[in-house]
A and B are shown apart, each in its own frame.
Chain A
């Protein structure tokens, strides 16, 4: 096992609410590590609508998703959070008691963290690759169908079908073409979202007959025992045909799934986590949940509601992290102690 990182709080999710949790916990001297499956902070704001204006953040008549994330990042800077990006929490263990909670979280990258409190700010769940719309694809996943390249060597000497029209698809076409025995790119139209230089490089390889390009959509898979033999596709003229291959690499964007949080022993209601509205604590003492992933009577999935929720959750978290300290309610406008923490006094 890798070395255990010990901290006060672990925040699961680096969306706007997870980021603001760093702030509210930080004001109470609670140090936080933040884990997110995306390679960048900001959650949906950064992934789904970085350019879209948001009109209901108090004090900001108009702010884009990315601007909000950038501002939050600046706001939490004094508390120096540690980010573990591109990682998903895989294992969860409760080690403590209800009075003295302690949790150990292990990510898929092997990072092991222990903390007294956990704040789940996972929004709509973790972003995971969207499955191609072909029935039975699950049977091939991990052996013959992949949504990311973990080991390029796996593809050496194999016939690889790559589906998609964005940068991921084109990058892997160019990277795998010298290794694979044959690369075929399948895309629904003869236009690509990927960077023009990648598209030009791909078209040059096609012209030199070093790879194949099929304008078609996936409709079915053929193979046995987790090993593909061909992918059935339908061309623009509506005829279907088979493309022989050993592996399929599919890039159909991301979707949100609750993921492993479902197995942490938390009560769930329609894939949402019920909390109280006083402390935003789950049924497990020491595990808080905030933002879009929670439900309570009257819950609104608004960023501003999430901000309110983390402020209250932090108050209770303080009780677990500093059981012997009394918590004084203070304002950032007047408290010299808070101002010192913010680095402005």
Chain B
């Protein structure tokens, strides 16, 4: 089973099982992981599913697309490892992925 770990802004860590093909945002909502709002429902149109990809995973997860980069303009405290979790699809290669949710979404 593929696992994704979400660490919230206060440091609490939650490991959940993720379905391959689902997005990191969907996986969070399905498992009631707090800290991800996803106001637009995954259309890359709101920047409220912002996460920081942990350093050891940034290369494997990859960089945001142009559209995602544009949408990140609306997020708070954007860092080099910022991604919108609705744009990260879970694959077997991402088993063990660790992301941190920001203190504030949007």
* Chain A residues close to B by CB (< 8 Å): 44, 47-49, 52, 124, 130, 133, 164-166, 187-189, 191, 193, 217, 219, 252-253, 255-256
Report yes or no: B40 in contact with A217, Cβ–Cβ below 8 A.
no
Whether B96 sits at the interface, judged by CB under 8 Å, is no
| Cα A252 to Cα B48 with chains together (Å) | 12
User: Which residues in A have their C-beta under 8 angstroms from that of B76?
Assistant: 133, 217
Instruction: Pick the 8 closest A-B CB pairs, nearest first.
Output: A133-B76, A253-B74, A48-B45, A49-B43, A193-B70, A48-B40, A165-B73, A252-B74
Given contacts A217-B77, A217-B78, A253-B47, 9 further A-B contacts (CB under 8 A): A48-B45, A49-B40, A49-B43, A49-B45, A164-B73, A193-B70, A252-B73, A253-B46, A255-B46
User: Which residues in B have their C-beta under 8 angstroms from that of A187?
Assistant: 73
| Cα A133 to Cα B76 with chains together (Å) | 6
Report yes or no: A193 in contact with B39, Cβ–Cβ below 8 A.
no
Chain A: minimal CB distance from B87 (Å): 13
| Cα A48 to Cα B41 with chains together (Å) | 10
List, sorted by A's number, 11 A–B pairs whose CB atoms are closer than 8 Å.
Answer: A48-B43, A48-B45, A124-B39, A130-B74, A130-B106, A133-B76, A165-B70, A188-B73, A191-B69, A252-B74, A253-B73
| Cα A47 to Cα B48 with chains together (Å) | 16
Could you say which of A52, A252, A255 has the most chain B C-beta atoms within 10 Å of its C-beta?
Answer: A255
Interface of B, helix, strand, loop or mixed by DSSP: loop
Interface string of B72-97 (1 = CB under 8 A from A): 11101110000000000000000000
Whether B104 sits at the interface, judged by CB under 8 Å, is yes
Please, which residue of chain A has its CB at the minimum distance from the CB of B74?
A253
* Chain B residues close to A by CB (< 8 Å): 39-40, 43, 45-48, 69-70, 72-74, 76-78, 104, 106
| Cα A252 to Cα B78 with chains together (Å) | 13
| Cα A164 to Cα B46 with chains together (Å) | 15
User: Which residues in B have their C-beta under 8 angstroms from that of A217?
Assistant: 76-78
User: Which residues in A have their C-beta under 8 angstroms from that of B78?
Assistant: 188, 217
User: Which residues in A have their C-beta under 8 angstroms from that of B39?
Assistant: 124, 255-256
Report yes or no: A133 in contact with B73, Cβ–Cβ below 8 A.
no
| Cα A133 to Cα B47 with chains together (Å) | 13
| Cα A188 to Cα B82 with chains together (Å) | 12
Chain B: minimal CB distance from A191 (Å): 8
User: Which residues in A have their C-beta under 8 angstroms from that of B74?
Assistant: 130, 252-253
User: Which residues in B have their C-beta under 8 angstroms from that of A52?
Assistant: 43
Chain B: minimal CB distance from A45 (Å): 10
Report yes or no: B73 in contact with A193, Cβ–Cβ below 8 A.
yes
Please, which residue of chain A has its CB at the minimum distance from the CB of B72?
A188
User: Which residues in B have their C-beta under 8 angstroms from that of A133?
Assistant: 76-77, 104
Please, which residue of chain A has its CB at the minimum distance from the CB of B75?
A133
Chain A: minimal CB distance from B28 (Å): 18
Please, which residue of chain B has its CB at the minimum distance from the CB of A164?
B73
User: Which residues in A have their C-beta under 8 angstroms from that of B48?
Assistant: 255
User: Which residues in B have their C-beta under 8 angstroms from that of A219?
Assistant: 77
Chain A: minimal CB distance from B86 (Å): 12
User: Which residues in B have their C-beta under 8 angstroms from that of A193?
Assistant: 70, 73
Please, which residue of chain A has its CB at the minimum distance from the CB of B76?
A133
Please, which residue of chain B has its CB at the minimum distance from the CB of A236?
B80
| Cα A334 to Cα B42 with chains together (Å) | 42
User: Which residues in A have their C-beta under 8 angstroms from that of B69?
Assistant: 189, 191
Q: With A166-B73, A193-B73 as known contacts, state yes or no: A255 contacts B106, CB within 8 Å.
A: yes
User: Which residues in A have their C-beta under 8 angstroms from that of B47?
Assistant: 253
| Cα A217 to Cα B48 with chains together (Å) | 17
User: Which residues in A have their C-beta under 8 angstroms from that of B46?
Assistant: 48, 253, 255
